[in-house]
Structure 1
Amino acid sequence: MNHDIKDINLASGGKKRIEWASNDMPVLAQVKERFEKEKPLKGMKMSACLHVTAETANLARTLKAGGADIVLCASNPLSTQDDVAAALVKDYGIPVFAIKGEDNKTYYKHIISALDHKPTVTMDDGADLVSAIHKERKELIPQILGSMEETTTGVIRLRAMEKDGSLKIPVIAVNDADTKHLFDNRYGTGQSTIDGIIRATDSLLAGKVFVVAGYGWCGKGLAMRAKGMGANVVITEINPIKSLEAAMDGFMVMPMSEAVKIGDLFCTLTGNIHVIRKEHFEGMKNGAMVCNSGHFNVEIDIGALETISSKINKSVRNFVDQYVLKNGKSVYLLGEGRLINLAAAEGHPACVMDMSFATQALATEHVIKNKGKLEPKVYDVPKEIDQWVASLKLKSMGISIDTLTKEQEKYLASWEEGT
């Protein structure tokens, strides 16, 4: 089996990690059980570009159980858990092309290796796989039934491709499903980002001024968690409605140019480029720490930080680099500006990824069931999938909810009755 991982001998630790995560993924387990019986993905060759974590491993196992011939590569150079990659290859027979800390050349080589599988279905976290297909492997387009996109940044890219007529395959925006972004983005990102920051810095958040750039679902989750740990949270935004929402949620709201004067810790979660740049670094307090929890490392202008630095001290702690600026102040960059929750920690907890990945698996089945019916555009996840996943999650948590009476159903379906 062709693969490229760090060390196959790490497999035993990875298998334990995968099994531990599976204990907290009951919804995905039910999908896997049905897939094993029905084989809805039989005959499908799949290439998936995702964070190679224990949770992702359980998704890959589910897709394989459904009959898919699946290959996995990393969607970020620092997000791979090497022991998990080894276990997928050794214990579960799934080819993996991913090594934590791989350089950009290797990262893109691994993407091409995944595409050499000649997939009929793809799965993305950031749209790098789909982008590579459209730029370098156009001959694959006619055979691809569709793709699933897992993250906000990827959906932004894909909608841009659809808008200018560049998108040539159907894509399901899994990120936009309620069972994904309302939970994974908010609670998953909130907790795992805090986890990564604390593991990297060993900092006490209480009393610090914590600047969150972006108040989408990821930013909301992080702001909520930072506030809960006693930080004084500042929100920077470009959207007036989100800014107003942040203010009414009890956070300080101001431009980044003002926030840099008071911030102790900065985290970007916008999906945009150069949110923190040269003039911002120069205005920061001595000892300010900067990190990113958006998908790509472009949110922080690292090139500009390098140009205004007189000295760079690499790895003053694991995943912490010190930049001594020409003005004498120091700025600390965490996780090389890449996803801090995956670079320095373990990513989202399995409980929340249970819903995201169950939705991913069911969206894949939906694409295959609708072979030839989907146009080359971005689709939402069918609402019935969302409702089913949410209902199963509630059941797994021991939570019951009300149902409508016949009288209530009739009332909601009519317009005659008023006050």
Structure 2
Amino acid sequence: MKIAIISPAFFESTFPLAKYLALNNDITLYCFLNQSSLSPPMLNLSGLTKTGLLNENETQELLPSDVKAYFNNSGVSIKVIVCGNSKKIGTLTIWQFIKELKKNNFDKLHFVGEEFRFNFIQYFFPAKKVVQTLHEGDADRLTKRTGKLKTLFIKAFLNRLGNSSIKLIFHSKNVKSVFLKNYAKKAKELTAVIPFGLFETYEYITTTSVKLNIPEKYFLYYGYIEQYKGLDLLLEAIRQVNVVNSEIDFVIAGRDKGGLVNIDGLSNVAFINRFLTEQEIVFMVKNAVAIIMPYKTASQSGIPNTAFCFDVPIIASDIAGLNHVVKHGKNGLLFKPGSVDELAQNILILQDDKLMVNKLRGNIAEKTDFESWEMLALKTSDFYKFKL
């Protein structure tokens, strides 16, 4: 099949999908970017000034070296499309892109993510050609940091998908159930749950240039800091841990726009308050004793898919969206949602029980917690062909 994959971000999972689909298909990957956001994870094009559609040669000159290494001889054609900041430039670019898709006469157009302009683009193609991957099933989570107009566009997009015959892919049963609850899917049979594989692109990233003022070993909490991610629980747990052992180090890393981090009196906590580069993420994950995810709610998360690339266990809340990946005593430890006592106890267990840590790391190293990307690509290809 001749397939176009169009994605504005999520390249940790979209890159492997494109690479393994290309084993049996003709794949063009369009990186659909905004001029104001040219450095999504795994694709730093921050120096780019051109807008519009860049051809394959222009794109190759711009791609980071680790991305080139990952796709070496894969057969994937990669192009970049950049929407300008002005409405006029943005509209012209969208029209240019629609013409590009029509000219190439793809068998399938696979859109990834909730980019509101996809709603407009998809109108120009028959539903049987379109496949949409959704990372969230709830418009409220998608729109809490967007303006009113963009919020309306995103909600209209999800509503249309829910009442169309466009095929939908979700990465977890949790997200699918939330979507089907919120939006009356016209043909529920036209949905599939195809999970992420390991984010193996991170294994190609070198960290020799990373300079961070953090301890040698630590428990790590990282990512954009938001209320639902339970940082308040972790900080309270650290205070409990310090009563027993104040020599355990912690690193909290990620943009804290809401001022949720309060480490007063916690001298054993290093806080990096900004967006992280891929190199910094890999460096911190590799050197962590464990990753801590004290989330209160979760649709899904890519953190386990990154941590398990480097055999790093996870301490996580026992909630939907996490407990289908983090298995207690196998690749991490789970604790009762909201239980500071259990979280503190799990931290102390992994600090003191080296045999437990080695067991978890050994289990993760067997790479049985995720399906291979070869298998996930086959499932995706089969879903492209699926007919009622």
Q: Same fold (TM over 0.5)?
A: no
Q: Which has the higher contact order (CA 8 A, sep 6+)?
A: 1
TM-score, length basis structure 2: 0.40
